[in-house]
Chain A
């Protein structure tokens, strides 16, 4: 019974989260672009416009993988949200190794974005797919390091235990290098701004260049769902999740998730994307040593 309640809670959280993510995205875009006025319902109108158009396929596409890449991407975002505890001991997926499960989701995202670019049999989408893999793979190492670092003081790979371990002090302060590195992974998972190597403007939309109608709507929803899932994980791992005074836990979690979401969206609009070869070098030569350092510092701090 409590499982069913948690599931419904998660679904509600996800629906509102996706909607708010779309609104926030439009808000930041307009603010930065200097455009006035924002309608809260714009994302809904845009979705309806997508849905009222035809869904096209290309010559000899891989239809099955096209479909599975979109629905699978959506599912991975939802699994991210499912491992997040909404309160003490209430998570849809409460298991001892939920951090590893989230890691598995990260690696499946690379597979699915690749498939999304592969399946239309279209040159620019194909370039986007391969380029995404180049960045999506190594940037996962960063997230593995920082998540292992947050697991050290908790003595557990369970996200519930990690949240409880932050009762005294949030990990964002205890391990200051962790959250920035983790946010970079978020930009990559949600295909945004400086790490959007799959769907970028120089490829006229990259992996989603051939998406029309329902496919386009589905892919956009899945990207937003991944943003929600990722932000909730980041809020739990670094900002103390549901912990907080007075208000109920889930409200705190929602507020923190929104904050992380806003930061990612703002970073996406404000930071420039460099050519992929430089980013590849940057990850291995600069960011990975920083992740090592993060783990070392976390280890020293956690030692009794």
Chain B
């Protein structure tokens, strides 16, 4: 409960702080910004299109591997707590688990998914 309150307080404070920065020099920001000033930075030229696009992510296969790997990492947190208590058994079990998953990484490496496709 205190955790939740602390987190909410911190977020509220951060939002207030950022809003206060904006409000500080509010005099100028109430005027609508003219179009030439809104043009995105390209070093003085005018873009033809919006920048938002079906962006070509060059590493998308890596993200899929990453999600699977991270899912696995979530098992390791409870494991870490009981590691000393359980001793070698825990080490062996997690070792096996990690070796299984390393196969996935090695396979991805072999398929070249860590390159900028």
Tell whether, in the assembled complex, residue A97 and residue B15 are in contact, meaning their CB atoms are under 8 Å apart: no
Query: A135 to chain B: closest CB distance in Å?
Result: 9
- Interface stretch, picked from A38-46, A178-186, A211-219, A257-265, is A211-219
Question: Given the complex, which residues of B lie within 8 Å of A100, measured CB to CB?
Answer: 77
Residues of A186-223 whose CB lies within 8 A of B: 204, 209-210, 213-215, 217-218
Tell whether, in the assembled complex, residue B22 and residue A71 are in contact, meaning their CB atoms are under 8 Å apart: no
**Assuming the A-B contacts A134-B59, A204-B41, A280-B62, are A60 and B50 also in contact, with contact meaning beta carbons closer than 8 angstroms in the complex?**
yes
Using a Cβ cutoff of 8 Å, how many contacts connect chains A and B? Answer: 181
Contact of B22 among A55, A153, A277 (CB under 8 A): A55
Tell whether, in the assembled complex, residue A95 and residue B3 are in contact, meaning their CB atoms are under 8 Å apart: yes
Tell whether, in the assembled complex, residue A156 and residue B81 are in contact, meaning their CB atoms are under 8 Å apart: yes
Tell whether, in the assembled complex, residue B52 and residue A285 are in contact, meaning their CB atoms are under 8 Å apart: no
Query: B89 to chain A: closest CB distance in Å?
Result: 11
Interface SS of B by simple majority: helix
Tell whether, in the assembled complex, residue A78 and residue B85 are in contact, meaning their CB atoms are under 8 Å apart: no
Question: Given the complex, which residues of A lie within 8 Å of B33, measured CB to CB?
Answer: 56-57
Query: A41 to chain B: closest CB distance in Å?
Result: 19
Tell whether, in the assembled complex, residue B84 and residue A153 are in contact, meaning their CB atoms are under 8 Å apart: yes
Tell whether, in the assembled complex, residue B114 and residue A281 are in contact, meaning their CB atoms are under 8 Å apart: yes
Please tell me the number of chain B residues within 8 Å of chain A, measured between CB atoms: 64
Of the four ranges (under 10, 10 to 19, 20 to 34, 35 or more), the interface on chain A belongs to: 35 or more
Contact of A78 among B13, B37, B43, B55 (CB under 8 A): B13
Chain B: residues with CB nearer than 8 A to chain A? 2-3, 6-7, 9-11, 13-15, 17-19, 21-22, 24-25, 28-29, 33, 35, 37-43, 47, 50-52, 55, 57-59, 62-63, 66, 69-70, 73, 76-77, 79-85, 87-88, 91, 94-95, 98, 102, 105, 108-109, 114-116
Beyond A78-B14, A218-B18, 11 extra complex contacts between A and B, CB < 8 Å: A52-B25, A75-B15, A82-B10, A93-B6, A122-B51, A137-B62, A138-B62, A148-B77, A209-B41, A292-B98, A303-B87
Q: What 3 pairs across the A-B complex have the smallest Cβ distances?
A: A277-B116, A122-B40, A75-B14
